Amino acid sequence: MLDPKITIWNNVTYADNYYQRQIPEGDKKAIRGKLLTGVDNNQELEKWAGFDPAKESDNAHRAAVSWYAGTANLNESHVSDEKQQVFRRLGDLLVEGFSSDDKDKSWFVPGHVNANFPHGDENAPWEGIGTGWFYSVNGGGDDLRSYFVNGEKKSRDDLGDFKEFQDYLKKNRRSVSDDNTYTNNKIQVGTRMRGDHAVSSLFNGNFDVFAGKSDAQAKSKIPGWFVENDSGNQPLQKDLVRWHNINTFKEDGNDYLNRIGYNETKPNYALFLRTSQATEVVHNNFVVPEWGDLRFNLLAPAERGKLKVIIETPPSGIGETDWQSTTLETIDLSEGASGKLNQYKQDIYKIGFGREGGFETFHVPIDDRYRGKTARLRFKLESSNPAGVFLDDVFFSSAHLKFGNPSEARFDSRVPGDNPYRENLLIEKPQYAVSYNRTTKTPNWVSWQVNNAWLGKASRPEQTIFKKDSQLPQGWPEIDHDNYTDKNGKNFGFDQGHVIPSRDRTNHEKDNIATFLGTNLIPQSVDNNRYFTSKTDPAKASAWYNIEGLVRRLVAQDKQELYVVAGTYSTNWTDQKRSNAHPEEVLRGNTKSGEFQKQGIHIPRWTWKTILALDTPGMGVADVTENTKAYTFLTPNKPEPYKNWPEIGSPVAHPFNQIKDKLGLSEPLPDIQNATEWRDPSTWQVTIEQLEKLLQGKKINTLSSVPEDIRQHIKKQKYSIT
């Protein structure tokens, strides 16, 4: 394993670095101290007494630690744990064999902005005040901190007013959301050692942090995961398998690794649990995060056995020694998912895509009683016949929220009247994440990842109707197909609109049917949803349909990985034409918007979508730069202005002009000239900054995991989609 790069984070108010370069002679493992860039105050200590030479018997950096301890405790002449002399006074030097000429080798002289003593000055305070621990808030000298800029000592006031000081910090700090994990792309480790966040929700949940694969190391423990006994039923490093060595991915016709851009020179490892050797694995003690489902990826080629997911908590009573175990869920490895809409709930913990396609994601909700508490996590394979399963990417965060939770939604199981998140309830699924609103009975937003692994040949359900979402807490409104139709099954003039389209989940029927749930449903105008006469001609399809096509083009043709967030804005319960563009719907008159109003289902006035485009699958927050592209759209959820609008001629005022101030537009936009322009996604393109200004009442903040300077730059851009 390799240490991360030393980083000065933006929550550090003062960065001071005291270091020695020497290490004990013959010690090839110790890391030498060094000057750090971006630090406010660097001090090299080794020219003073006790630092040179570093003896073989010494601990590396022992004297540096003792020096700092001497600034915190002004009474001690030795640091007891280190048995190191603290050279405060000339007398301390003489005792250790130094002469009176070595007074400049004494350790301490004040260094704050009001002190200008040369080192060794006999008139300077010698106790250890005015430096080191003194600069901390508890040390009392935080107002006198020294900042060294281009070698010149400056005070806080010298650095300017508040804004100028913030600019100084911005230049010399990095966001705490940055991932400083070792990333040398020239050797095998690189970015594979990263977890789900800069600080992983579960250390080494991806099984990619380990010493190596030599014969000696093969019998070593997997970092973060432990072996309880020597029975041989728990895995070691020898049980880690490179993805490209898994037989499923070697079979003819399986192009999973190619579709996700897998690179054999930078291998990804999974843990192989099997009845013949290692059947279970336990993660070391950890603190359960305050929010987020447990999620993990499985590949189960054999139709045998079951995998138990168990959480363990420490002994609670006096004299108790055994940890308490609770089975969270059991994954059925033997029976495959049916992929039928009426079997959605029963299929959740059955294998779908993970049988023959590739790794499949599972989510397990965590009860509130475990949040913030110490726990262990156990995966246990059980089968009376030979069985095996590959386990990977065990974390407490959704892949679909990798770049942030746009409204800081949270799941809460209480009924709506008692629920603080009744208008911002987080629902996490393997296929997407949702912020659901009890008041509007529609999602605020849906967030999802799209890459080639999600796209395939799976078909939509035979009956393309929406079902109630069983994941909603008890007492919440369960919206489905019946809420959008009358007693005879006729709709009220609006499409049952997907927020995440079913076409973004075609790798397996199990994943496709998950898009047909009431928490992914909005009343959507025909002219803001469908193609009209051609699936392939953008001029004969709605702008929203073309935006959905853009997503799949960027993935299928450009091999990109996208992170999409889509939602709605404002409400319009006014009756309107069903369609002015679809040849069949044009003849069917007006909508019955009042039927939705009676049920309290809000009809969106606008729909929006923002797309973060990454060049290759597997990239993370640390890979986002100011050159990363994002595309954002805002479309009116209403029929086109004219019936059978010609593709040229008959201009209309741009609807954005009605919300110009809310978008922050400085000037009105020119008229939309014809149907072709109306159906062009670029007509409805905005910046993320403009969208968030419009949505400011909903407190939407996309890309919140991206460092602020990069995030703000991206949010101001409008990139061409051609």
Count of residues making up the chain: 722
Q: Which tokens hold the place of 605?
A: 């006035």
Least Cα distance to 297 among 339, 351, 366, 367 occurs for 351
| Residue of 283, 363, 400, 498 with catalytic role | 498
Is-cis flag, bond preceding 443, omega within 30?
no
> In what helix (H) or strand (E) does residue 150 lie, and over which residues does it extend?
none
d(CA 446, CA 677): 27
Q: What gap in Å lies between CA 245 and CA 180, rounded to an integer?
A: 29
In Å, how far are 17, 64, 235, 593, 611 from 689, measured between CA atoms?
38, 48, 49, 32, 13
The DSSP secondary-structure symbol of 65 reads H
What's the one-letter identity of residue 669? L
Residue 687 in 3-state DSSP? Answer: coil
Whether 404 and 705 have beta carbons less than 8 Å apart is answered as: yes
| Residues whose CB is less than 8 angstroms from the CB of residue 80 and which lie 6 or more positions away in sequence, other chains included | none
Q: CA 707, CA 722: separation in Å to the nearest integer? A: 28
Handedness of CA 229, 230, 234, 235 (dihedral sign): positive
Residue type, 163: K
Amino acid at 442: T
Query: In angstroms, rounded to a whole number, what is the distance separating the alpha carbons of residues 54 and 4?
Result: 26
Distance separating alpha carbons of residues 220 and 480, to the nearest angstrom: 52
What is the C-alpha to C-alpha distance for residues 331 and 347, in angstroms, rounded to an integer? 10
**DSSP letter string over 583-633?**
TTGGGG-B--HHHHHHHTPPPEEEEEEEEEEESSTT--GGG--TT-EEEEE
Distances from the Cα of 563 to the Cαs of 6, 448, 492, in angstroms? 30, 6, 32
Which residues, at least 6 apart from 139, have a Cβ–Cβ distance to it below 8 Å?
Answer: 71, 72, 132, 133
Q: How far apart are CA 197 and CA 5, in angstroms?
A: 16
| Host H or E run for residue 375 | strand 374-382
Which helix (H) or strand (E) element contains residue 231?
Answer: none
What are the structure tokens assigned to 423, written together? Answer: 């208008």
CA distance readout (Å), 168 to 43, 160, 164, 267, 674: 20, 9, 6, 40, 51
As a whole number of angstroms, the distance between CA 621 and CA 623 comes to 5
DSSP code per residue over 278-289: --EEEEEEEEPP
- The tokens describing 30, both together, are 């110790």
The answer to whether 387 touches 333, Cβ cutoff 8 Å, is yes
Is 498 marked active-site? yes
Residue 265 CB neighbours (<10 A): 9
Q: How many CA atoms lie within 13 A of 560 on its CB side?
A: 19
Q: What angle (nearest 5°) sits at the alpha carbon of residue 304, between those of residues 299 and 309?
A: 60
The backbone region for 614, taken as left when phi is positive above 0, alpha when psi lies in -120 to 50, beta otherwise, is beta
| Residue 498 neighbours by CB under 8 Å, 6+ apart | 515, 516, 520, 521
Contacts of 91 (CB under 8 A, 6+ apart): none
Q: Sign of torsion, CA 31 32 35 39?
A: positive
* Residues taking part in catalysis: 498
